[in-house]
A and B are shown apart, each in its own frame.
Chain A
Amino acid sequence: MTPCTACLRRARLVGLLSARIAAELAERRRAAPILALPDEQLVRAVGGSLKGAAWRMLETFDPSQSLDEIQAAGLHGVCRHDPLYPARLRDLGDPPALLFSTASPQRLAELCAAPAVAIVGTRRASTYGLEVASALGRGLGAAGVTVVSGLALGVDAAAHRGALDAAGPTVGVLGCGADTVYPRTNRTLYGRVRAEGAVVSELPPGQPPARWTFPARNRIMAGIARVIVVVEAAKRSGSLITAGFAEDLGREICAVPGRVTSRIAAGVNQLLVDGAHLVRGPEDVLDLLFGAGGWEGLASDKHSAEASLERPLRRVLRSVENGDSVDDAARGAQLSASELRAALGQLELLGLIRRDRLGAYERVAR
């Protein structure tokens, strides 16, 4: 159905007042209470210098113009009165009136109806964090779980990429217009997520990001997902804000343990102390979603490709997954150096592993 006028107008209003909301929130911690206000109260509360423009817009609002804009940006709009609107988002006290999406409302509904897991974490992740995030993305993606993340650098990107590599469903939630690539570095990834999953946002097309839009985006991630996994986060970080929203909504919170001496693991370790589920890999998350072992067979794809491998190849593959050195891998599989490289070559030919620019191998799941 076409988004209703009130919701279109609301989205437009939030976009218009973005700068004012930012100023207002500079003094407060969370976006939630403000965004829960109805239109008129919102204008009164934060309007400030933009009050005049806001009232004028509310009076003269023309829905067809908004619809044209959405179409021109190649997006779709789903308003909260639409049955295709992601149901779990309604749990929020301040759900977005309108969700802009790169995927059709039907596709978006499918993506959100599947069990969804949000994977979040720091942008400045360590190799360990990236590895875990992409392994989680792959494992969950292979089992058909929708991986939700924020398309940011670091953990977010690794999670999306993992899901895409496993041809799993994935949704990127942005803190700017859904047609805007932010950060620019991720444009390739944005393209892939857009093509194979969905990129969504509550902000109108073309809207630039602002400080407040990131925590606001985090509440949407927490809303869509059933489980939130935090991979590497410092003490005061956006990922913990997401976890906070998730807790308010009664979602399951998971954390990947990090080194106790590492600054970027302080936040996740604290979550564990506070009672979050400890996650060692996708299996732990799947256990949480489907009950222990209830997910066996979902990830059939990955297993069939592997099962057909000969024994030494399988061992080498496991070594690559574990990040063993080449010599260790050779010893583990009882192969000579040349046989080991031949095995790596075979696995690369089979598309099971890939290499970076300096020839280091990593696991690919398809």
Chain B
Amino acid sequence: MAGVLASVATFALVGLDSSEVTVEVDVRRGLPVFTVVGLPDRAVREARDRVRSALLNSGLDFPQERLTANLAPADLRKAGPSFDLALAVGVLLATGQVPRERVRGYAVCGELSLGGALRPIHGAVAVSAGARRAGYDRLVVPVENAREAALVPDIDVLGVPTLERLVDLLKGEWSPEAAKPAAPPGEPASGADLADVRGQGDARRALEIAAAGGHNVLMIGPPGVGKTMLARRVPGILPPPSFDEAVEITRIQSVTGLGDGRLASRRPFRAPHHTISASGLIGGGVTPRPGEITLAHRGVLFLDELAEFGRYTLEALRQPLENGFVEIMRGQRSLRFPSQFMLVAACNGCSCGRPGGECTCNAADRIRYHRRLSGPLLDRIDLVCALRPGAALELVSDGRARPESSAVVRERVTAARERQRARLRGSPATCNGAMDARLTQAHVKLPPDLQTMLLTVARAGSMSFRGQHRALRLARTIADLDGRDQIGRDDLAEAIGYRLGAAEAVAA
């Protein structure tokens, strides 16, 4: 007797995207065996048991016949439990428990519990984006994922709580409303606010400039002076994410299981430990997963103890920093993960980390330390600032007004960003920090006397060509923060004061 064949559409996560997978289920007479083929991993093979129990516990039939399920295309590795639902629907179709014609135009995706409830999956946004691209009108996902999946427009997302309800839906006995997209970002939740940080005026100003121009910044100071505390507050002074940015952030968080099912309202802050591997930082693995730099996309990547990171790890960071994305090759495929983040790095001023007067390093120690840091990464850092120990304690008593809050700073930063966006319209960069040499020359004009001033330093040998461009970009941002079109003398001087100078070798 010919078998009964059914097919159901679902989606498999590939990086930050999803690609269509057709689940075919074939039922024919024979020993009751359930086989899954098409490069399934352990979790997918175990779906057999979940599907059987879920069906039986939902009052549905599981056939005592020979079942073969194929996940096509057969050359794509399938991982994770999100194929459960498609397999269950396939079995229901093949055994005639739900009418076939009703399933057309649907894509389904979800994990099953043994009791028949639908459990949330990772990457709902990516799945629904894939489904829309593939031309599906309706997507069934676990109810917890519905609002998140609905962030993708032009597709009806149906949130379903249990397998039983899904059968009702497919039989036309229940017609739920399409899910509403998760709420747009409001004011970022208060929490870490700049008003909590006392003193450290130098670092505050540096971080404001960095945020305003999208510059990467290095904080220098001994351990425990508040570098981490300040870095954590950088996302809060960046302009809130636009809707599109928020969707991007949500999508990444959803794929990696970091999201909470709502639209991200704040920019991410990632602070990987210095023992992280290169693939942990930039992404990778057998089934490539985004790394920390992608998790920090549109937000802040904080590298504390910069000198302790592996040299190879930091080298790997260079390309993504320059390109704003990272490309990972696995077999025949190449995946592209976005990585547009602001780098906030921190380290000690020398290897012993003690402040100036108490430092016990000798000259050789210091050279070694500088050499360890002065890799190509420092070339991508525009600003440096110094933090000083004991400031918190002493400033409490100095009776000055409460420090500025994040909201006040954010307002200035947002205005400065707006100016940059307008100026850079039509170019790939959206902020001063992203300007390359060509854009810098085109958009940053100095009046002749300031030009001479800059060249004087450059000729004195203390500033390289690259250093000049860095100072120019910074000066541009400082003027933008102040709302001025023309770069002034003080802007340039401040930029020179803040830039990270790769000066002559400090031989001993």
Q: A325, B370: Cβ atoms under 8 Å?
A: no
A300 interface residue per 8 A CB criterion: no
Q: B201, A157: Cβ atoms under 8 Å?
A: no
Q: In the bound complex, how far is the Cα of B205 from the Cα of A343, in angstroms?
A: 14
A30 interface residue per 8 A CB criterion: no
Given A189-B507, A349-B496, A355-B501, A327 and B362 contact (CB-CB distance below 8 Å): no
Q: B199, A154: Cβ atoms under 8 Å?
A: no
A28 interface residue per 8 A CB criterion: no
Please give, as numbers and ranges, the residues of chain B lying within 8 Å of A188 by CB-CB distance. Answer: 505, 507
Within 8 A of A (CB), among B471-505: 478, 490, 492-503, 505
Within 8 A of A (CB), among B340-378: 347, 349-350, 355-357, 359-364, 366, 370, 373-374, 378
CB distance from A267 to the nearest CB of B (A): 16
A33 interface residue per 8 A CB criterion: no
Please give, as numbers and ranges, the residues of chain B lying within 8 Å of A360 by CB-CB distance. Answer: 220, 349, 386
Instruction: Determine which of B373, B456, B499 lies in contact with A357 in the assembled complex, contact meaning CB atoms within 8 Å.
Output: B373
B385 interface residue per 8 A CB criterion: yes
Q: In the bound complex, how far is the Cα of B387 from the Cα of A330, in angstroms?
A: 13
Given A341-B205, A349-B493, A354-B503, A359 and B220 contact (CB-CB distance below 8 Å): yes
Within 8 A of B (CB), among A301-343: 323, 325-328, 330, 336-343
Within 8 A of B (CB), among A191-207: none
CB distance from B458 to the nearest CB of A (A): 10
CB distance from A309 to the nearest CB of B (A): 14
Q: B497, A341: Cβ atoms under 8 Å?
A: yes
Q: B497, A357: Cβ atoms under 8 Å?
A: no
Q: A153, B496: Cβ atoms under 8 Å?
A: no
Please give, as numbers and ranges, the residues of chain A lying within 8 Å of B493 by CB-CB distance. Answer: 341-343, 345-346, 349
Please give, as numbers and ranges, the residues of chain A lying within 8 Å of B490 by CB-CB distance. Answer: 339, 342
Q: A186, B201: Cβ atoms under 8 Å?
A: no
B384 interface residue per 8 A CB criterion: yes
Instruction: Determine which of B200, B499, B508 lies in contact with A153 in the assembled complex, contact meaning CB atoms within 8 Å.
Output: B508
Q: In the bound complex, how far is the Cα of B344 from the Cα of A364, in angstroms?
A: 30
CB distance from B317 to the nearest CB of A (A): 18
Decide if the interface of chain A is mainly helix, strand, loop or mixed: helix
Q: In the bound complex, how far is the Cα of B391 from the Cα of A348, in angstroms?
A: 26
CB distance from B480 to the nearest CB of A (A): 13
B462 interface residue per 8 A CB criterion: yes
CB distance from B84 to the nearest CB of A (A): 54
Interface size on A, residues (CB 8 A): 41
Q: In the bound complex, how far is the Cα of B478 from the Cα of A336, in angstroms?
A: 14
Please give, as numbers and ranges, the residues of chain B lying within 8 Å of A349 by CB-CB distance. Answer: 453, 456-457, 493, 496
Q: Which residue of B lies closest to A157 (CB)?
A: B508
Given A356-B370, A359-B220, A351 and B200 contact (CB-CB distance below 8 Å): no
Q: A344, B497: Cβ atoms under 8 Å?
A: yes
Q: In the bound complex, how far is the Cα of B500 from the Cα of A153, in angstroms?
A: 27
Q: In the bound complex, how far is the Cα of B149 from the Cα of A24, in angstroms?
A: 88
Q: In the bound complex, how far is the Cα of B172 from the Cα of A3, in angstroms?
A: 115
Q: In the bound complex, how far is the Cα of B350 from the Cα of A366, in angstroms?
A: 27
B506 interface residue per 8 A CB criterion: yes
Within 8 A of A (CB), among B190-216: 199-202, 204-206
CB distance from A79 to the nearest CB of B (A): 34
CB distance from B218 to the nearest CB of A (A): 8
B286 interface residue per 8 A CB criterion: no
Instruction: Determine which of A327, A330, A348 lies in contact with B496 in the assembled complex, contact meaning CB atoms within 8 Å.
Output: A348
Q: A342, B364: Cβ atoms under 8 Å?
A: no
Given A346-B493, A359-B220, A330 and B506 contact (CB-CB distance below 8 Å): no
B138 interface residue per 8 A CB criterion: no
Instruction: Determine which of A154, A344, A358 lies in contact with B370 in the assembled complex, contact meaning CB atoms within 8 Å.
Output: A358
Q: In the bound complex, how far is the Cα of B363 from the Cα of A125, in angstroms?
A: 7
B460 interface residue per 8 A CB criterion: yes
Q: Which residue of A lies closest to B205 (CB)?
A: A337
Please give, as numbers and ranges, the residues of chain A lying within 8 Å of B359 by CB-CB distance. Answer: 126-128
Q: A357, B503: Cβ atoms under 8 Å?
A: yes
Instruction: Determine which of B202, B462, B497, B500 lies in contact with A354 in the assembled complex, contact meaning CB atoms within 8 Å.
Output: B462
Please give, as numbers and ranges, the residues of chain A lying within 8 Å of B495 by CB-CB distance. Answer: 345
Q: B496, A125: Cβ atoms under 8 Å?
A: no
CB distance from B483 to the nearest CB of A (A): 14
A130 interface residue per 8 A CB criterion: yes
Q: In the bound complex, how far is the Cα of B359 from the Cα of A359, in angstroms?
A: 17
Please give, as numbers and ranges, the residues of chain A lying within 8 Å of B456 by CB-CB distance. Answer: 349
CB distance from A161 to the nearest CB of B (A): 9
CB distance from A325 to the nearest CB of B (A): 4
Q: A345, B220: Cβ atoms under 8 Å?
A: no
Q: Which residue of B lies closest to A152 (CB)?
A: B508
Q: In the bound complex, how far is the Cα of B201 from the Cα of A340, in angstroms?
A: 10
Please give, as numbers and ranges, the residues of chain B lying within 8 Å of A358 by CB-CB distance. Answer: 218, 220, 347, 349, 370, 373, 384, 500
Q: A125, B453: Cβ atoms under 8 Å?
A: no
Given A327-B388, A357-B374, A345 and B356 contact (CB-CB distance below 8 Å): no
Q: In the bound complex, how far is the Cα of B492 from the Cα of A337, in angstroms?
A: 15
Q: In the bound complex, how far is the Cα of B218 from the Cα of A345, in angstroms?
A: 18
Contact flags A46-66 to B (C-beta < 8 A → 1, else 0): 000000000000000000000
Q: B373, A330: Cβ atoms under 8 Å?
A: no
Q: Which residue of A lies closest to B220 (CB)?
A: A358
A29 interface residue per 8 A CB criterion: no
Q: In the bound complex, how far is the Cα of B445 from the Cα of A303, in angstroms?
A: 36
Please give, as numbers and ranges, the residues of chain A lying within 8 Å of B503 by CB-CB distance. Answer: 354-357
Q: In the bound complex, how far is the Cα of B84 from the Cα of A51, in angstroms?
A: 96
Q: Which residue of B lies closest to A330 (CB)?
A: B201
Q: Which residue of A lies closest to B384 (CB)?
A: A359
Please give, as numbers and ranges, the residues of chain B lying within 8 Å of A343 by CB-CB distance. Answer: 493, 497
Q: Which residue of B lies closest to A325 (CB)?
A: B388
Q: Which residue of A lies closest to B361 (CB)?
A: A127
A124 interface residue per 8 A CB criterion: yes
Q: A325, B506: Cβ atoms under 8 Å?
A: no
CB distance from B125 to the nearest CB of A (A): 41
Q: In the bound complex, how far is the Cα of B91 from the Cα of A320, in angstroms?
A: 77
CB distance from A160 to the nearest CB of B (A): 11
Q: B457, A338: Cβ atoms under 8 Å?
A: no
Please give, as numbers and ranges, the residues of chain B lying within 8 Å of A355 by CB-CB distance. Answer: 462, 501, 503
Q: In the bound complex, how far is the Cα of B453 from the Cα of A345, in angstroms?
A: 11
Please give, as numbers and ranges, the residues of chain A lying within 8 Å of B366 by CB-CB distance. Answer: 127
Please give, as numbers and ranges, the residues of chain B lying within 8 Å of A357 by CB-CB distance. Answer: 370, 373-374, 378, 501-503, 506
Instruction: Determine which of B355, B373, B462, B478 lies in contact with A348 in the assembled complex, contact meaning CB atoms within 8 Å.
Output: B462
Q: B492, A327: Cβ atoms under 8 Å?
A: no
CB distance from B305 to the nearest CB of A (A): 14
Chosen A-B contacts, 11 in total, with CB atoms closer than 8 Å, are A126-B362, A128-B357, A153-B364, A185-B508, A327-B200, A343-B493, A348-B457, A349-B496, A355-B462, A357-B506, A359-B501
List 17 additional contacts besides A357-B501, A357-B502, A358-B349; criterion CB under 8 Å.
A127-B356, A128-B357, A153-B508, A154-B508, A186-B507, A325-B388, A326-B386, A327-B201, A327-B388, A328-B388, A337-B201, A341-B202, A341-B493, A345-B493, A354-B503, A355-B462, A358-B373
Pairs of residues from A and B, 7 with the lowest C-beta to C-beta distance, nearest first: A341-B497, A345-B496, A345-B493, A345-B497, A325-B388, A359-B384, A337-B205
